[in-house]
Amino acid sequence: MACLVVVVVGLVGGLAEAEAAAVEGLGVNWGTMASHQMLPEMVVRMMRDNGIKRVKIFDADPWTLKSLEGSEMEVMVAIPNDMLGIMQSYENAKEWVDKNVTRYTHPGGVNIRYVAVGNEAFLKAYKGQFMNTTFPALQNIQKALNEAGHGHNIKVTTPLNADVYNSPDSKPVPSTGTFRSDILSLMTDIVRFLDGNSSPFVVNIYPFLSLNQNPNFPVDFAFFDGGATPLNDNGVTYNNVFDANYDTLVHALRKAGVPNMKIVVGEVGWPTDGVNFANISFAKRFYDGFLKKMASGKGNLDVYLFGLIDEDQKSVLPGDFERHWGIFRYDGQPKFPMDLSGKGNDQYLVPAKGVQYVGNLWCVFNKNVKNQKKLKQLGGQVSYACTLADCTALNYGGSCNGLDQQGNVSYAFNQYFQLQDQDVEACSFKGLGVVTKVNASSGGCLFPVQIVSGSARAAAHVSFWLLPWLLMVLL
């Protein structure tokens, strides 16, 4: 992959100076679980054009890290959960730091500030799978960072879901917050270790999930614009679930013996599709209130929004909203007006520049098919398309939920067609599909046109630059 980077960097040209200013302490999560990714250089430029100066990535992909060289953006680079086991070996930890940190921390390189060891490793859903590997991995990576001379500037941490702490049902207020009983001893050891190394506690807080998972949750309490019945905790009033959740952690840390530990919100955001409550209107309401809160300076928050771009390959086991967390669409187009400065200036973010689309073609249901035997295969063909492609927008509460039966079929067919780079054969569906040049989008339901993936563009340009050399060799 490294040889490709040298060629494609020149496609974007010099990084533009930021055209906007984000509120102090704001960063974004840049996930890459998408079938068609933009060139990393385009994504970095898009972030800089919007004044974003901090980014959290979920692995140490060399192409991604290479694209961040010279950007001066503060980077949190991660070690995935499935690598925690091998980090029990200090030699492996040293090798990882040398390959993924030291390699990039030269003058004009990548401004790495944190190494995230694992991600939400103590989720109850993991049933203790990473309970014995996370802390040793943290210790080994920190030791390796220190030995390599990075320990003063680069801090180790482990992002955790807010389910690692709670308040008792008998008194569900922040002041009674403590770490979960099953991990209390382990969490106490971890936070004292992190605090001793001046490392932050990174927590992921999702008001959306509070609303989505509890049918009795008061809707207004998920937002920051008032209207909710306040929660009173010994004279301290909470008007939203984020603040209440955050202070529950504050009290848990105090009880663990680290009252002054720095807290970083590693993930917070609102999805825009896939289920009820996940829509543009609620997302805008959430971000407007949250960014104004940050701009007010209350709490002096360091926050990474989740997420930057939609990811159509994410697992939907947590919910069908998982593929729609981006403040940008799959193609780098902003979804709705938002002001990252928190000043309430309602305008669209700067979109990605230089994105190429496969073509203006759509795949839809062939209305000319009258053969009943063929039509009986519709269900199976739609099921096939949606097994491989993302059809979550068709769900109840989704942006395409209002389509009629033929519209549902067309949406499913088109999603698969675009996933397959508009291959004509991918629109066959046993004769039930047909390619059209007419945009099939309907109202608020977008029938997307796929972009040329970054890897495909890189390969094409490598071929272009290598061709003269190959001709010389052959001649």
CA distance 72 to 105: 11
Q: Which is nearest to 207 in space by CA: 161, 249, 269?
A: 269
Active site residues: 120, 267
Q: Which of 200, 193, 58 is nearest to 119 (CA)?
A: 58
405's tokens: 């039966």
Contacts of 248 (CB under 8 A, 6+ apart): 165, 166, 167, 174, 177
Q: Is the dihedral of CA 461, 464, 468, 473 positive or negative?
A: positive
The CA distance from 433 to 17, in Å, is 46
DSSP character at residue 442: B
- Largest alpha-carbon pair distance within the chain? 84
Residue type, 261: M
Amino acid in position 406: Q
Q: Which residues of 206-225 are buried (b: 16+ CB within 10 A; e: fewer)?
A: bbbbbbbeeeebeebbbbbe
Q: How many C-beta atoms surround the C-beta of residue 261 within 10 A? A: 19
Please confirm whether the linkage preceding 307 is cis (ω < 30° from 0). yes
* Helices first, then strands: H and E counts in the chain: 13, 15
Question: CB-based contacts of 101: which residues, under 8 Å, 6+ apart?
Answer: 77, 112, 115, 145, 148, 150, 154
